[in-house]
Amino acid sequence: MFSGEAAVYDRFVGRYGPSLARAFIDAAGIAADTRVLDVGCGTGQLTRALAEKLGGANVSAVDTSEPFIEACRRRVPDADVRVARAEALPFEDDSFDAVLSQLVVNFIPDVPKGMAEMRRVTRGGGTVAGCVWDYKGEMTMLRTFWDAATALDPDGAAPVVEGRIMPYAQPEDLEKLWRETGFEDVSVVPLVAEASYEDFDDLWAPFPTGVGPAGRYAASLGTEAQTALHDEFLRRLGEPQGPFNLSARAWCAMGRVA
């Protein structure tokens, strides 16, 4: 569902990537001179922020999407960027001081295996951190989209609303996952990211292409229903005329390898 064009992803949630990455790196306490792996790197927003802080030679990144990996390599040419699954990381035990995973755990098919792999490749005392959108709360763009969709189409939209279908959308879900994986000193903190839009159509443009769960729903609608959704989404955002910003909260879970 995220395997489309990298440029479309970057106009969609990727627009929040740089500011989310900065907040995530700070929250995870990533210091200079550490070696870090980015799992589910996508088009490389977090990978680039890590390379700016640590130098590309200290950063590795994996994702299952070949187009995204190509975009990540273009963005961060000096990092070690590979096509690989979180559930089968191509690294030796204890290879990294920290493993970060931005907006990924809800999309990994075998989450316990992916988490166990992130733990395996992190040295003792190192950190594994992951963040997910606050789908039910303050991820303004996605929450407002789904509020508009369920108001217009309760039967069609309700079963696919991300706040309901994502297994890890609340701090307690993440805390449980991190504890069950065996991490110590587990904590969950909020992160706040921001994106700028030229106007509402700049925000809307990626949705009909089918990117992500929200785009897939928008693309499944006929022309009339899609126009109604566009108009209701616009109305619920306060009918911005011209440029505007939106903020988005994510939950960040962290734990230490014993």
Ligand X SMILES: C[S@@+](CC[C@H](N)C(=O)[O-])C[C@H]1O[C@@H](n2cnc3c(N)ncnc32)[C@H](O)[C@@H]1O
Residues that bind ligand X (CB under 6 A): 2, 14, 17, 39-42, 45-46, 62-65, 68, 85-87, 102-104, 107-109
Residue 20 or 221: the one with the smaller Cβ distance to ligand X is 20
Smallest gap, in angstroms, from Cβ of residue 60 to ligand X?
A: 13
Residue 68 or 183: the one with the smaller Cβ distance to ligand X is 68
Smallest gap, in angstroms, from Cβ of residue 147 to ligand X?
A: 20
Smallest gap, in angstroms, from Cβ of residue 239 to ligand X?
A: 28
Smallest gap, in angstroms, from Cβ of residue 189 to ligand X?
A: 17
Residue 18 or 156: the one with the smaller Cβ distance to ligand X is 18
Q: What's the per-residue H, E or C state across the chain?
A: CCCCCHHHHHHCHHHHHHHHHHHHHHHCCCCCCCCEEEECCCCCHHHHHHHHHHCHHHEEEEECCHHHHHHHHHHCCCCEEEECCHHHCCCCCCCEEEEEEECCHHHCCCHHHHHHHHHHCEEEEEEEEEEEECCCCCEHHHHHHHHHHHHHCHHHHHHHCHHHHCCCCCHHHHHHHHHHCCCEEEEEEEEEEEEEECCHHHHHCCHHHCCHHHHHHHHCCCHHHHHHHHHHHHHHCCCCCCCEEEEEEEEEEEEECC
Residue 42 or 163: the one with the smaller Cβ distance to ligand X is 42
Smallest gap, in angstroms, from Cβ of residue 151 to ligand X?
A: 25
Smallest gap, in angstroms, from Cβ of residue 228 to ligand X?
A: 27
CB 60 within 8 A of CB 38: yes
Residue 4 or 126: the one with the smaller Cβ distance to ligand X is 4
Residue 107 or 207: the one with the smaller Cβ distance to ligand X is 107
**Which residue sits closest to ligand X, CB atoms considered?**
42
